[in-house]
Structure 1
Amino acid sequence: MKIVLVHRHGPGQFVHLACHLADAGWQVSFLCEAMNVRLPGIRTLRQPVTAPPPAIPFAQYHQDVGLKAARTLESHVREEGAPDVVYGHIGWGSMMFARDVLPKTPLIGYCEHYYHATGRDVGFDPDDDITLAKRAQLRVRNAAQLTTLDQLDAAISPTKWQKSAFPAAYHHKIGVCHDGIDTHRCQPNPNASLTLPDGRVLTARDQVITYVARDLEPYRGFPTFMRAAAKLAQQNPDAQFVIAGGDGVSYGQARKDGRTWRDVMMAETQIDPSRIHFLGQIRHDQLIRMYQISSLHIYLTYPFVLSWSVLEAMACGARVIASDTGPCHDMIRDRQNGFLTDFWDSDALAMKMAFCLAHRDDLTPLRERARKTILNHFDLRRCLDRQTTLIENLASGGKSR
């Protein structure tokens, strides 16, 4: 069986699925602009790069990306014949014209995020000015997804909350299945240790508060975390803060003054630099050790896509405080398997952090329930089995549901 996976920057969310299918004997090809990780036994069909907005308007960007993907796919089909199924991310326009190349091949879409002018990430900051131009831009960005959804045989969204953003008219096409968390790699290890850049070694016996984001920015609550950390540091002289993440911009916009949020928040909070450790973007095995030694993991997010990091932390048995926002409601039950807190309230976060550190031993059942949540609902093997069943069913001519 042959499958083409489509993602602007592969492998993205398909990394586990691609390897799983290849191991099962599938011929797996990635259609993408760039492949960030080389996967053994998996081919890359590289499409020409399209400069993203603001270089060109969103409508033109989506059309250009879609046409380049379609032409690359058409060339592949001309040389090797049609694949049995195509599964691709619908967010950038890459799947817009797949049906025009493959009128009979089953198409599956990955539905990650549908834009709204209210109730989601846009407008979540009270200072946001949502102009008519911004609302129009969001509709244009959604247009590529709607065009694609019309052509799909089936679709997958990683969480119920993310699916709920898409128009109800398409819900019958969209199943819910997470990409999966490797609960064998991500598991508690009381003997784990983490060596800091200055040579100090931290273990689970230390009071360690961890925070992880691709980049340190407002979308993932970095300013709120830093303000809370500074307050806790004044109350608790033993607390150490370990932060993984870059200084770029993954979501939202860069600061107009050109400064990084790390520099801004260090200057604002005046937290003792010897108490807070910035590791940058680190290897996955180091992230896992962070979660394993963590006394308390903080995850804050706008109403936006759910990060793998908080799920991996829970799988490692970390005590988690997460923001009381939509994405977190799919896995956190307040005071049952974690704690929820107001995204903007650094005082409340500092108080909950202090409580969790003071009652670490009492919260052991909560840690166990956190890992059980991931095992029951996000375990990689279960998720891969569900995804593979759908793909095989479609590839063999079965129904999508």
Structure 2
Amino acid sequence: MTLVTERPEPERPGLRQIAYAVGEPATTHATLAATDYHVRTGEAVAAELSRLGRHDRPDVIVGHIGWGGLLFARDAMPGVPLIGYCEYFYNAVGSDLDFDASAVVADAERRRIRMRNAAQLVTLETLDLAYAPTRWQRQQYPRAVRERIAVCHDGVDIAACRPDAEAAFILPDGRVLRAGDPVVTFAARDLDPYRGYPQFMRAAARVARQRPDAVFVAVGGDGPGYGRPRPDGRLWREVMLAETGLAERIVHIPWLAHAELVRLFQVSAAHVYLSVPFVLSWSLLEAMACGCLIAGSATPPVQEVVKHGVNGLLAPFFDEEALASRILAGLAAGAGLTGLRQEARRSVARGYEREACVDRQLGFVMQLAAEEDFVPA
């Protein structure tokens, strides 16, 4: 297997890596910035594919369509089947951009978002097979191409992510949290509004007043995440700590190794996962596989996985009082919500178990590689 990548991964047996470099921007036009980057990426990848094809022609090429890497793959490797991973199609209406009704979306931003999809639309025309991780992500693509996109998640390791009544998690200050303790958890790549960090903090402040024994643990960095930095330059963590007064009650951890994150899920009494209409985080599925009681947002990507009262509890994204009530229910119920926790794990096992997902993806590859009379799209 060969990986053509801009950022090489640690060496792994059986994996050859070919690094490419993207040149300097060719335009200063803000609306075209993403398109310019995608074209330069496509040219760099195509150059590596052409060199590779002269001595080691692949059977199938698989790639992400959102960053330009497959733009010119058909030209560089004529006759080789192409499979595209469709992660997210940007929409100016009814999606993440305009989710917050109080935020003004400038016309320039709408134009930028529209052009950001250009590479995907061009690439889709060349693909022999395409797939998206969830039904909602597939639904974001235009109707004209949506029917060509299959749905298959990358999967969750439910053997590693599992309930453990004996689990213990050690906080940076040395305190030990165990399964059964009143632990409220939150995890995101960065503590940003896309993942509802401000709403979590406001809900946590309400919970803290009613449950002085509750321990709050938030995992995430201080970067802008999927949004943009605050105009005042302040960090969301600093702003929300000042607003809520939770500094003495909450533990912020910038990053955790995966095994440690799993242990945190295993001791969680209520795990909060919020998201604007955007890509669903793997962390939600991993928390569910660990048997967490989910207190989530009633937003489309979350609702595809979490059903209120069946395998978790949901609240409107901006309703911090309702979210606090869901968290309090998780803390108070003890074994009373065992059925929801068990169904959360069963839901992941049914639809997102890693081996089943990988087998389906390999099926895509083998299907195209085995076609003797293959005719490219």
What TM-score, normalized to structure 1? 0.89
Alignment correspondent of 2:2: 29
* Pairing of 1:25-104 with structure 2 (within 5 A): 28-50=1-23, 57-78=33-54, 80-104=55-79
Which stretch of the first structure deviates more once superposed, 371-380 or 117-126?
Answer: 117-126
Amino acid at match of 2:212: P
Q: Secondary structure at the match of 2:125?
A: helix
For 1:163 and 1:50, the matched residues in 2 are separated by: 31
- Change in Cα spacing, 1:277 to 1:51, as seen in structure 2 (3 Å) is farther
Cα contact 2:157–2:354 (8 A) shared by 1: yes
Counterpart mapping for 1:348-363 below 5 A: 348-363=322-337
1:1-400 matched pairs, under 5 angstroms: 28-50=1-23, 57-78=33-54, 80-271=55-246, 273-397=247-371
When structure 1 is superposed on structure 2, of 50-59 and 143-152 the one drifting more is 50-59
Alignment CA distance shift 1:75-1:85 (3 Å)? same
> What secondary structure is seen at the aligned counterpart in 2 of 1:360?
helix
Amino acid at match of 1:173: R
CA distance in 2, matches of 1:251, 1:38: 29
Q: Determine what percentage of the aligned residue pairs are the same residue.
A: 45
2:314·2:323 contact (CA, 8 Å) conserved in 1? no
State the secondary structure of the residue aligned to 1:34.
coil
**Distance of 1:286 and 1:226 partners within structure 2:** 22
Provide closer, same or farther for how the CA distance between residues 252 and 36 of structure 1 changes in structure 2, counting only shifts above 3 A: farther
Query: How far 1:250 moved relative to its partner?
Result: 2.2
Q: Which runs of 5+ in 1 are unaligned?
A: 1-27
Deviation at 1:127, TM superposition (A): 2.8
Query: Who is 1:10 aligned against?
Result: none
User: CA offset at residue 357 of structure 1?
Assistant: 1.1
Once residues 199 and 157 of structure 1 are traced to their aligned partners in structure 2, the CA distance between those partners, rounded to angstroms, is 42
User: Could you tell me how far 1:128 is from its partner in structure 2?
Assistant: 2.5
Contact 1:153 1:173 in 2 (8 A): no
Residues 165 and 266 in structure 2, CA contact (< 8 A), matched pair in contact too: yes
Aligned equivalents of 2:22, 2:167: Cα separation in 1: 42
Give secondary structure in 1 for the equivalent of 2:278. coil
| Amino acid in structure 1 at the alignment position of 2:324 | A
Q: Deviations over 1:156-175 (max 9, x none)?
A: 10000000001122123211
Residues 45 and 70 in structure 2, CA contact (< 8 A), matched pair in contact too: yes
Q: Please, which moves more after superposition, 240-249 or 295-304?
A: 240-249
The alpha-carbon deviation at position 50 of structure 1 amounts to: 4.8
Measured in 1, the distance between the counterparts of 2:325 and 2:35 equals 46
- 1:55-108 deviation per Cα after TM superposition (whole angstroms, max 9, x unaligned): 972221111111111111112212x23200000001011111000111100000
Other-structure match for 1:14: none
CA deviation after TM superposition for structure 1 residue 37, in Å = 4.1
Contact conserved, 1:297 with 1:321, CA < 8 A, in 2?
yes
- Distance in 2 between the 1:395 and 1:170 partners? 23
1:287-337 CA-to-partner distances (Å, cap 9, x unmatched) read: 000110000100000100000000000000000011111101221111000
